[in-house]
Structure 1
């Protein structure tokens, strides 16, 4: 996927911005729907705290000036693999194409920043919407356990 492709694709535009002193608290207010809490149980404040102490990179997702979600990326110190640790769109902004747009931007960001050959993401097996989104973007299932499905997106 090229920046050119992202700029000319149809649908809403999502921009990634750093989480900083101006938006960190707003990020903590983002929530998934009640139905989604069983497979996305960890609130944003947890991911922000873990990012501060574990070297993860939290990113805020905006459309225009509206904060709509967040993502957290990390590099596994053991094997150097690049992970999307968390990705969420607030319940108020779901079903508008923002998840797809945001994920495309995140993939491009990680490719540009890290020049990585693959990106890894996990999700709960019962999270069929996430599974469908990730599969449609090229993430292939590589492992399945009781609590988590692991997918990889490989680049040539």
Structure 2
């Protein structure tokens, strides 16, 4: 079955909110409930649970950033039990396929904390590159789809 991106619903939101990162990642990765609320309040943001063979492994939030109009990945996390197994990269590639379907061949953005070296390496592994911009005190990365 592999990686599936499923809409956050009343049936899975609590389990999604219970996903955890390592202690050293806390404060770098926003709480999932915060992102779920954003997706409920704003039509331009879409939250998805990441599943691997029907097991919830992560969460993401993507959409159009209001101030810049840029399509972007705003939040991305994989539960600590599933990190460093290649699943994060597979899920990110699945998201990029979804973005191509929804938005076409566009520039797609994300930001990464300078402290989050593992996330930066993950983004680079699928083709994101730093573009020299800073947004919310984080490095902006972009990929051409």
Indicate the RMSD between aligned Cα atoms, in angstroms.
1.7
Matches within 5 A, 1:42-61: 42-55=30-43, 56-61=45-50
**Any idea what SS the aligned residue of 1:32 has?**
coil
1:110 shift after superposition: 0.8
The answer (yes or no) to whether the contact 1:14–1:102 under 8 Å persists in 2 is yes
Runs of 4+ in 1 over 6 A off after TM superposition: none
The answer as to whether partners of 1:30 and 1:69 remain within 8 angstroms in 2 is yes
Counterpart pick for 1:27 among 9, 13, 16 = 16
Q: Structure 1 CA distance, aligned partners of 2:82 and 2:143?
A: 25
**Count of residue pairs brought into register by the alignment:** 143
Unaligned runs of 5+ residues in structure 2 are none
Q: Is the partner of 1:48 in helix, strand or coil? A: helix
C-alpha distance in 2 between matches for 1:80 and 1:27: 28
Indicate if the aligned counterparts of 1:60 and 1:69 stay in contact, CA closer than 8 A. Answer: yes
Q: Could you say what secondary structure the match of 2:9 adopts?
A: coil
Are 1:63 and 2:52 an aligned pair?
A: yes
TM-score normalised to structure 1 length:
0.85
What is the CA-CA distance between 1:143 and the residue it aligns to? 2.5
Match for residue 132 of structure 2 among 112, 131, 143: 143
Secondary structure of the corresponding residue to residue 138 of structure 1: coil
Matched, 1:91 2:75: no
- CA deviations 1:36-62 (Å, max 9, x no partner) are 11322x210011011111221000100
CA separation in 1, counterparts of 2:19 and 2:105? 29
**Cα separation, 2, equivalents of 1:54 and 1:71:** 15
What 5-or-longer segments of structure 1 have no aligned partner? 1-11
